[in-house]
Amino acid sequence: MDDFDLDHDLGLDLIPAPLSVRAVPPSGRYVLDEETRIEARPGTEGVARWLRATVGAATGLPLDPGDDDDNRIVLAVDPALGRRLGPEGYRLVVDGHAVRVDGGGSAGVFWGAQTLRQLLGPAAFRRAPIGSGTAWELPMVAIEDAPRFVWRGVLLDVARHFLPKDGVLRYLDLLAAHKLNVLHLHLTDDQGWRMEVHRYPELTRTGAWRARTKLGHRASPLWDERPHGGYYTQDDLREIVAYAAERHITVVPEIDLPGHSQAAIAAYPELGNTDVVDTAALTVWDTWGISPNVLAPTDHTLAFYENVLTEVLDVFPSPFVHIGGDECPKDQWKASPAARARMAAEGLADEDELQSWFIRHFDRWLADRGRRMAGWDEILEGGLAGLAGLSEGATVSSWRGCAGGIAAARAGHDVVMCPEQQVYLDHRQAPGADEPVPIGYVRTLEDVYRFDPVPAELTETEAARILGAQANLWTEVMEDQRRLDYQAFPRLAAFAETVWSPLPAPAARDHPSFERRMAAHYARLDALGVDYRPPGGPHPWQRRPGVLGRPIEGAPPIV
């Protein structure tokens, strides 16, 4: 951290901030030109492809393969560096002879290449050259860097508002530019089912479309009367997964159960509690909040979702599969003779234990197939399951605060911290009437910068269970890519630094230094075409006057 001022003195303004930066002799600049070659040693071929496709496109330089002169970028995997900094660590050295990017693994080389791109300036983030007079110069520096956490994630909710495939691919590029390495793809909810399932075509034929959409918070009187929907074919999702893998990003799918399932029930009414409600009359939900229509605890439902998850496992190689497990109203189960019979047969004391029975079933099912279940912190609850009933590999996404993550870590489970009070980026960015559809607490750029995923009360052993953190983008009031950009940026840049860089305690962080570096980073976002919230407040076209939100006043509680 002592090198941050040097970072600024050298004019680097890197985000996220690296572990160490130092100047190296000779003084001056290293110029990339038409003769610059890329020497890609074993394990770095994908990084070379990425450099040619991005930096090559922006600069107009061919960056041909070559290893026979000094004018080259050398990409290499260094096992010794990996032992010291881990597989995502890297060393970037620019001296008078070459540019060297060494990584502890191929991922480390890729993150070093991302830093190299930042060093070239904002124009390196464009898709084509903007002028023949640009000099592509690098400072003479040595940078060593490695991430603080192995899980540096973003949740993208494509169920509430569908984001076409190209938009997902674009967001993968934005994640990679910020050294974020997990995309949690929220594929199903009450308002839409977004993954093609060959065995059950009605999931997308019916479940992917709703007749209209609530505009703003659910208390709003406004409606968008246009049908809304869309879905990804399995080949679309394989493309997304492959595109992510080339950028060392893992795509974690989420298939919600037993709540947040009205779209599935609308497609296949027998999945619902048919002895309580007329499930055949249900449609894909067109408003927000928590639907009372939940899955029936039947053998048919279990088999149905096992078949769905079999196709999910075929498409997504991620070690983790998220099954939701949150916000499941119990009213229908309480009124259902079939649910009561299931509880009696399984020896379950109440409906909370019935929800845990659902979770535990799919936890075991995934574990038997070599995968790890992830779920929201409600999976910790409910008698028979709770912490004791979860498999060793079950991982908790702590969203209602930090308490669930603390309990899980103390019980020996891995945790991803994503407390809504701190890193739900659908929450508003400032007080005042200009913020579009204001939701939740005010979470400024500085607030996010001072977020720390590791609660102070954890011991060192317990803290080692914190895999990292995740910023969540729930899209009820984000109807398109521009709204998504506005809510995500610039705060996602601050979040990226909190999960990558070895920052001091939140109160001791140098926010003015971060703001200074952000001044340069805004130019990168401009070059990338990101419609971020400006530091001075929204542009007129970013506002949504008259669309009701749900602001919460005061400081968010620490829970």
For the annotated catalytic residues, the residue numbers are 189, 260, 327
Contact between 77 and 111 (Cβ < 8 Å): no
Strand partners, 214: 223
- For residue 338, report the phi and psi dihedrals to the nearest 5 degrees: -65, -40
DSSP structural state of residue 503: -
Count CB neighbours of 559 within 10 A. Answer: 11
- Crossing angle of helices 511-528 and 165-177, in 10° steps, is 140
Contact between 154 and 175 (Cβ < 8 Å): yes
Residues 103-124 as b or e (16 or more Cβ within 10 Å = b): bbbbbbbbbbbbbbbbbbbbbb
What is the number of helices (H) and of strands (E) in the chain? 20, 24
Q: How many CA atoms, within 13 angstroms, populate the side-chain half-sphere of residue 378?
A: 21
Q: How far apart are CA 29 and CA 497, in angstroms?
A: 27
Exposed/middle/buried for 87, CB within 10 Å: 0-12, 13-18, 19+?
buried
Contact between 427 and 439 (Cβ < 8 Å): yes
Q: How far apart are CA 21 and CA 8, in angstroms?
A: 10
Question: Which residue's structure tokens are 């974020």?
Answer: 180
Token pair recorded at residue 256: 């919600």
DSSP structural state of residue 506: G
SS3 273: coil
Q: Which run of H or of E encompasses 90?
A: strand 90-94
Q: How far apart are CA 500 and CA 146, in angstroms?
A: 7
Question: Which residue's structure tokens are 């922006």?
Answer: 58
Q: How far apart are CA 36 and CA 15, in angstroms?
A: 26
Q: How far apart are CA 406 and CA 66, in angstroms?
A: 51
* Cis? peptide before 455, omega within 30° of 0: no
Torsion of CA 316, 321, 339, 218, to 10 degrees: -90
Q: How far apart are CA 507 and CA 27, in angstroms?
A: 36
Quick one: CA dihedral 263, 269, 273, 278, positive or negative? positive
Exposed/middle/buried for 292, CB within 10 Å: 0-12, 13-18, 19+?
middle
